[in-house]
């Protein structure tokens, strides 16, 4: 496996039902595909090293409450399944229920997202198709994440932080910077340090930086 590869992500979101629960909430469905492509690795025919799939749905409320300059923008309760779609000892998957709270003040947005992993039965052996593919994933992915984003002059600076809140202190931080190029096309720089960037190596430490393009604001 070469250190240099192409990483890309496609995310789609759709509002399934609008104004439910006394017209105070909306039901959403989303799907994210994140792929890691060894495009420059001719020795092994340039394969996709890993593809992660994450369908999810959530019920979102928009309270629009204010505490001084801080606006409580959204509160969501949902379910997410993440898998790499592989079998045997390469299979990775987990299910979560999550709460996501979003706050804004000026050009700064903050999202607090704790989750609870739904337990699975233990495998009788590593090749068993049934049971838990990654029983220790919470040690590396933690119990939630904190996301911050700041926008100024067409630039967006973001940070995502995860931690297992244990003495061994495993987790991850992802820093991003997007900047305008042409209409909806933006340049993008991303830095990742820690565990859990992809499911196949969630328990392996990764330190990487990348540059590319971002398409946003289509809807």
**Tokens describing residue 45:** 């025919």
- Percent of the chain with pLDDT strictly greater than 90: 76
- Quick count: other Cβ atoms within 10 Å of Cβ 158? 16
Model pLDDT for residues 101-143, shown as the tens digit of each residue: 999 999 999 999 999 999 999 887 777 778 888 899 999 999 9
Rounded to an integer, what distance in angstroms lies between the CA atom of residue 82 and that of residue 92? 8
Question: Whose structure tokens read 């398409």?
Answer: 215
Neighbours of 196 (CB within 10 A): 21
How far apart (Å, rounded) are the C-alpha atoms in residues 111 and 185? 25
- pTM (two decimals): 0.90
Q: How far apart are CA 76 and CA 57, in angstroms?
A: 10
3 is catalytic: no
Catalytic residue among 35, 46, 83, 206: 83
130 is catalytic: no
Per-residue 3-state assignment (H helix, E strand, C coil) for 65-123: EEECCEEEEEEEEEEEEEECCCCHHHCCEEEEEEEEEEEEECCEEEEEEEEEECCCCCC
Please pick, among 35, 46, 53, 81, the residue that the annotation labels catalytic: 81
Q: Specify the pLDDT at position 217.
A: 53
């Amino acid at each position: 496996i070469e250190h240099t590869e192409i990483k890309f992500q496609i995310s789609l979101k759709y509002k399934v039902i609008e104004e439910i629960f006394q017209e105070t909430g909306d039901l959403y469905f989303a799907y994210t595909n994140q792929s890691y492509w060894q495009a420059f690795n001719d020795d092994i025919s340039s394969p996709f090293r890993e593809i992660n799939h994450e369908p999810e749905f959530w019920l979102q409320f928009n309270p629009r409450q204010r505490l001084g300059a801080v606006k409580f923008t959204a509160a969501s309760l949902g379910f997410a399944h993440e898998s790499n779609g592989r079998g045997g000892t390469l299979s990775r998957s987990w299910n979560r229920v999550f709460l996501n709270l979003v706050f804004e003040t000026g050009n700064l947005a903050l999202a607090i997202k704790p989750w609870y992993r739904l337990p699975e039965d233990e495998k009788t052996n590593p090749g068993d198709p049934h049971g838990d593919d990654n029983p220790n994933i919470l040690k590396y992915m933690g119990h939630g994440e904190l996301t911050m984003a700041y926008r100024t002059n067409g630039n967006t600076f973001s940070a995502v932080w995860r931690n297992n809140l244990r003495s061994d202190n495993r987790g991850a931080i992802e820093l991003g910077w997007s900047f305008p190029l042409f209409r909806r096309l933006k340049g993008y720089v991303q830095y990742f340090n820690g565990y859990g960037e992809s499911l196949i190596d969630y328990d392996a430490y990764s330190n990487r930086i990348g540059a590319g393009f971002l398409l946003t604001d289509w809807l």
